Amino acid sequence: MSKTVAVVGASRDRRKFGNKALRAFQAEGYRVIPINPNESEVEGIATYASVLDVPERIDMATVYVQPDVSLSLLPEFERKQIPEIWLNPGADSDEVLVEARRRKLNVIAACSIVAIGRNPGAF
């Protein structure tokens, strides 16, 4: 069974990392769920406004939003009990990392596209 990945900040703009990540994870065989309250669908997949709206378990969230938004989403990640949260470059800040650790969230501050063996520039 493939891992379910929530792409938080998924975008219809194919130049944005929130879109590149969705396509990269799909290409690696992950089940991808786009999260963006401002989009109805991304790459033909219906979006959810929040991880809390997703009816099934999420194995991993990869985050592509500004640090202030990341900070506001931490309580939702905690409530949803997402075991792995990737804060990609530009989505993290010292404040976000401190609060994530305080909440005992498993946060990785790194590029999730590179972590799955893909080159972001190829998407």
d(CA 41, CA 109) in angstroms, rounded, equals: 27
* pTM recorded for the entire structure: 0.96
Neighbours of 111 (CB within 10 A): 18
Range of the domain at 58: 4-122
Confidence of residue 1 (pLDDT cuts 50, 70, 90): low
User: What confidence tens digit (pLDDT) does each residue in 13-67 have?
Assistant: 999 999 999 999 999 999 999 999 999 999 999 999 999 999 999 999 999 999 9
**52-56, long-range: CB < 8 A, 24+ apart:** 52/76, 52/79, 52/80, 54/6, 54/80, 56/4
| Statement: residue 4 has pLDDT above 70 | yes
User: What confidence tens digit (pLDDT) does each residue in 56-77 have?
Assistant: 999 999 999 999 999 999 999 9
Please tell me the total count of domains within the chain. 1
What CATH number does the domain containing 88 carry? 3.40.50.720
User: Contact 60/83 with Cβ under 8 angstroms?
Assistant: yes
